[in-house]
């Protein structure tokens, strides 16, 4: 089966529910951010068992894959120790969030390998 989806807004504080948008578009796969795109750590919503159970039930009942999109600020390719450590810690926290919600995977942009690099290095 081919999975087709996109980034969808998951701003809990704004009351947005990406599941409704996914259904309207007929998506069977989509990405959400479990926090701000510019903050390294996810929001704490995933620690709410009712919130987590709702996501798990949704994916199981609708055969939808949901991927946790890491924040853009996490640069796992950085050669600067502090930035690299922040990215690794961010990944650890987002992996915990993904596990709690039952999400299919964690997606991370690799970023640049050097500070100030103007051209991203592809893997
Ligand atoms: Zn992306």
Tokens found for residue 70: 């890491």
| pLDDT for the residue numbered 13 | 64
What is the C-alpha separation between 82 and 85, in angstroms, rounded?
5
Q: How far is the CA of 109 from the centre of ligand 1 (A)?
A: 7
Greatest pairwise CA separation for the chain in angstroms: 46
Residue 12, judged by CB atoms within 10 A of its CB (0-12, 13-18, 19+), counts as middle
- Distances 31 to 40, 76, 120 between C-alpha atoms, Å: 17, 19, 22
Q: Are 77 and 110 in contact (CB under 8 A)?
A: yes
Q: How far is the CA of 54 from the centre of ligand 1 (A)?
A: 24
Q: How far is the CA of 23 from the centre of ligand 1 (A)?
A: 21
How does the average pLDDT of the chain come out, rounded? 86
Model confidence at 60, pLDDT cuts 50, 70, 90, reads very high
Q: How far is the CA of 29 from the centre of ligand 1 (A)?
A: 14
Three-state DSSP class for 106? strand
Q: How far is the CA of 9 from the centre of ligand 1 (A)?
A: 12
Residues with Cβ within 8 Å of 119's Cβ and at least 6 positions away in sequence, in order, are 112
Q: How far is the CA of 59 from the centre of ligand 1 (A)?
A: 21
Per-residue pLDDT reduced to its tens digit, 64-112: 999 999 998 898 888 889 999 999 999 999 999 999 999 989 998 887 6
| pLDDT for the residue numbered 112 | 67
The model carries a pTM of 0.80
């Amino acid at each position: 089966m081919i999975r087709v989806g996109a980034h969808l807004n998951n701003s809990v504080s704004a009351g947005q529910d990406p599941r409704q948008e996914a259904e309207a578009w007929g998506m069977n796969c989509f990405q959400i951010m479990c926090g701000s795109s510019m903050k390294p750590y996810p929001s704490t919503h995933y620690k709410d068992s009712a919130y987590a159970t709702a996501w798990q039930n949704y994916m199981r009942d609708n055969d939808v894959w949901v991927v946790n999109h890491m924040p853009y600020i996490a640069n796992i390719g950085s050669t600067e120790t502090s930035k690299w450590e922040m990215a690794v810690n961010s990944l650890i926290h987002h992996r915990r969030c993904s596990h709690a919600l039952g999400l299919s995977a964690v997606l991370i942009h690799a970023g640049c390998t050097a500070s100030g690099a103007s051209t991203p290095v592809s893997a």
